[in-house]
Amino acid sequence: MSKHSRSQILINSQSGEVRVALLEDEVVQEIHIERTNDLSIVGNIYRAVVTRVMPGLQAAFVDFGSERNGFLHIDDVFANAIAQPNQQTNASNNIKDIRYLLREGQQISVQVLKEPVAEKGARLSTKLALASTYAVYKPNGSGHKISHRINAKDERTRLENGLAEILDTSPMRQKNCAGSYILRSAANNIDLSLLAADVHFLQRLWLGVEAKRAIGNRPSCLHQELPVEQRLIRDLPVGELTQIIADDKRVLDKLKKFCDDIKIDIPNGLNYYSESQPLFGKYGIDLEVEKALQGRIELDNGGYLIIDQTEAMATVDVNTGSNVGRHDPEKTVYQTNLCSVTEIAHQIRLRNLSGIIVIDFIDMQNTHHREHVLDSLKSAMKGDRTDVFISKFTELGLVQIRRKRTYQSLRQLLHADCSNCHGYGSVKSVDTVVFEIWRELKRVVDMYNCTTLSVRASSEVIEGILASKDTFMKTFNEIFKCKVVITDEPLFTREQFDVTPG
């Protein structure tokens, strides 16, 4: 994101749902949705119990109180914090064997790294972290760090010395608040009194987690992450958030108190939206959401994108469309690819596509053109607040992106798999179903040696059968000496049918 960009947060609240839009320079970049019956658990800390250790995967399944057990990989295990007493030496030596660290029935504290998706449970970690505006506290960490985005040597030294003094004089230094701190980029040039308030807040927060952990032994939540609107305010770089607009006074009152507590100044204020036209309608957010749920996105120069999302990965296909050019095909392809990168970066962030993303740009022969398109893509993705890695062009002319998966994508939040196609995006053709019915009729008549069979199917499939009556009904009767009675079932989907002896 540019140093000069200005951010707005729009909040639409209604019974059971809060929708939050982040606008940068008046362009919608992120949509966040939380529903009362499906609150995010990312960042929450739980008392948990190991239910199964799997040496083959070097991982464990963990009961943390959710309907589905979470997944804990050895890379996300802080060995010295949870190793079994008789294995402490092995843990210290970093032996990569889950059996030395965890056992079934063992009680541990875990934090949710990723939401459960489809059949996959939540991704968990024992490397706990609590975040505030200027710092991140790691109770089991060692060695303080400063964001690499703070480049000035004098500023880094000031923050290092300031943090050391804050910790030395902290009223909670004698309590169980050992660990490490990471100073975020927002800490650049801040007054040390604000940093001190942040550090003391994190220490109190951790002591609260410890107090809850000491009570009881059943899986339960020890710390709940902030609501989405507060989390967004906390995580935005200081000075970039200029305005908050909400259509619910109660939400606005809570945000005012939250901003006061974390000492964040918002130049254009927190404003209540009271107009009759819906907030997201007036600012065009609803249109952007609808656009982000479509597979085809038009480009300004006549080209278009096809975006497809599956559980395994997301793909983006760039096409010239009506931008066919007249004299120089290579230049037309280059311009279309170049035009696409801004929209690709925008759609990835808006849709919250994550994991592996593959971009199929139109083939370019000119090496300089390929490099320029790749550099432009990297530049367009700089505003993304999620960790992103972008590969070079592969031998097949593809660009691969790895984007950290934390929350569900917009489509996963708003859509469910189609009951007809079961998420495949297509259904069997009528002819395919008709031939399946033929095979099923043959199987049933062979099994029961009957003279009459009953077929129940959808209207369109029955039309397909009747359209080929001479080749279907007559032939079947002649071959198997069996009469077929057809019944229309209007509530059946195309792929549903039932064959029974008559």
Handedness of CA 469, 474, 475, 479 (dihedral sign): positive
Domain shared by 53 and 64, yes or no: yes
Q: How many domains does the chain have?
A: 4
Spatial separation of the C-alpha atoms in residues 231 and 264, rounded to whole Å = 13
Domain shared by 384 and 475, yes or no: no
Residue 366, C-beta contacts closer than 8 angstroms, at least 6 positions apart: 330, 334
Spatial separation of the C-alpha atoms in residues 426 and 486, rounded to whole Å = 26
State the helix-helix crossing angle for 459-467 and 430-448, rounded to 10 degrees: 80
Query: Position 484: which residue type?
Result: V
Domain shared by 280 and 307, yes or no: no
**Where a domain ends, among 260, 291, 322?**
291
Helices (H), 352-429: 367-380, 410-414
CA torsion 391-311-38-290 (nearest 10°) is 80
Asked if residue 161 belongs to a domain, the reply is no
Quick check: 85 pLDDT over 60? no
431-453: pLDDT as tens digits: 899 989 988 998 898 888 888 88
By CB neighbour count within 10 A (0-12 exposed, 13-18 middle, 19+ buried), where does 136 fall? middle
Output the domain CATH number for residue 454.
3.40.1260.20
With residue 221 as reference, give the H or E element that holds it. strand 220-223
Asked if residue 159 belongs to a domain, the reply is no
**The sheet that has 388-393: what strands, in order across it?**
296-298, 304-309, 314-319, 355-360, 398-403, 388-393
299-308: pLDDT as tens digits: 998 899 999 9
Spatial separation of the C-alpha atoms in residues 389 and 409, rounded to whole Å = 18
Give CA 366 to chain center in angstroms.
35
Token couple for 21: 């839009």
Taking residues 386-408, what's their average pLDDT? 92
Taking residues 64-82, what's their average pLDDT? 87
Domain shared by 301 and 409, yes or no: yes
Question: How many alpha carbons lie under 13 Å from residue 125 in its C-beta half-sphere?
Answer: 18
**Where a domain ends, among 273, 291, 309?**
291
Q: What are φ and ψ of residue 29, in 5° steps?
A: -110, -30
Query: Position 322: which residue type?
Result: S
Res 165: pLDDT: 93
Token couple for 30: 């992120």
Asked if residue 377 belongs to a domain, the reply is yes
Spatial separation of the C-alpha atoms in residues 239 and 6, rounded to whole Å = 8
Quick check: 65 pLDDT over 90? yes
Spatial separation of the C-alpha atoms in residues 156 and 138, rounded to whole Å = 20
Domain shared by 73 and 123, yes or no: yes
User: Considering all CA atoms of the chain, what is the largest pairwise distance in Å, rounded to the nearest integer?
Assistant: 96
Using an 8 Å Cβ cutoff, are 360 and 397 in contact? yes
Helix then strand then coil, % of the chain, to nearest 5: 35, 25, 40
Asked if residue 391 belongs to a domain, the reply is yes
Asked if residue 197 belongs to a domain, the reply is no
Domain shared by 382 and 478, yes or no: no
* DSSP tag of 172: T
Output the domain CATH number for residue 89.
2.40.50.140
Asked if residue 103 belongs to a domain, the reply is yes
Quick check: 151 pLDDT over 50? yes
Token couple for 255: 């945000």
CA torsion 96-98-102-103 (nearest 10°) is -140
Taking residues 91-107, what's their average pLDDT? 78
Count CB neighbours of 109 within 10 A: 21
Can you say whether residue 212 is alpha, beta or left, with left for phi > 0 and alpha for psi between -120 and 50 degrees? alpha
The pLDDT confidence band at residue 402, using thresholds 50, 70 and 90, is very high
Give the Å distances, CA to CA, from 374 to 269, 318, 377, 457: 39, 14, 5, 52
Domain shared by 359 and 466, yes or no: no
Domain of residue 459 covers 430-501
Res 86: pLDDT: 47
Res 1: pLDDT: 43
The pLDDT confidence band at residue 321, using thresholds 50, 70 and 90, is confident
110-132: pLDDT as tens digits: 999 999 887 789 999 999 999 99
196-219: pLDDT as tens digits: 999 999 999 999 999 999 998 899
Domain shared by 3 and 17, yes or no: yes
What is the average pLDDT value for the chain, to the nearest integer? 89
Asked if residue 144 belongs to a domain, the reply is no
Asked if residue 310 belongs to a domain, the reply is yes
Residue 430, C-beta contacts closer than 8 angstroms, at least 6 positions apart: 460, 461, 463, 464, 494
Res 470: pLDDT: 62
pTM, to two decimals: 0.80
Give the Å distances, CA to CA, from 68 to 64, 122, 187: 9, 8, 38
**Where a domain ends, among 291, 314, 347?**
291
Token couple for 242: 């200029």
Res 467: pLDDT: 83
Measured distance between the N- and C-terminal CA atoms of the chain, rounded to whole angstroms:
69
Quick check: 332 pLDDT over 50? yes
Domain shared by 5 and 68, yes or no: no
1-31: pLDDT as tens digits: 445 568 999 999 988 899 999 999 999 999 9
Domain shared by 353 and 450, yes or no: no
CA torsion 288-422-113-260 (nearest 10°) is 30
More confident position, 419 or 280: 280
Res 287: pLDDT: 92
Taking residues 160-189, what's their average pLDDT? 86
Domain shared by 409 and 471, yes or no: no
Percent of the chain with pLDDT over 90: 62
Output the domain CATH number for residue 281.
3.30.420
Domain shared by 344 and 456, yes or no: no
Spatial separation of the C-alpha atoms in residues 289 and 309, rounded to whole Å = 16
Token couple for 165: 């003094």
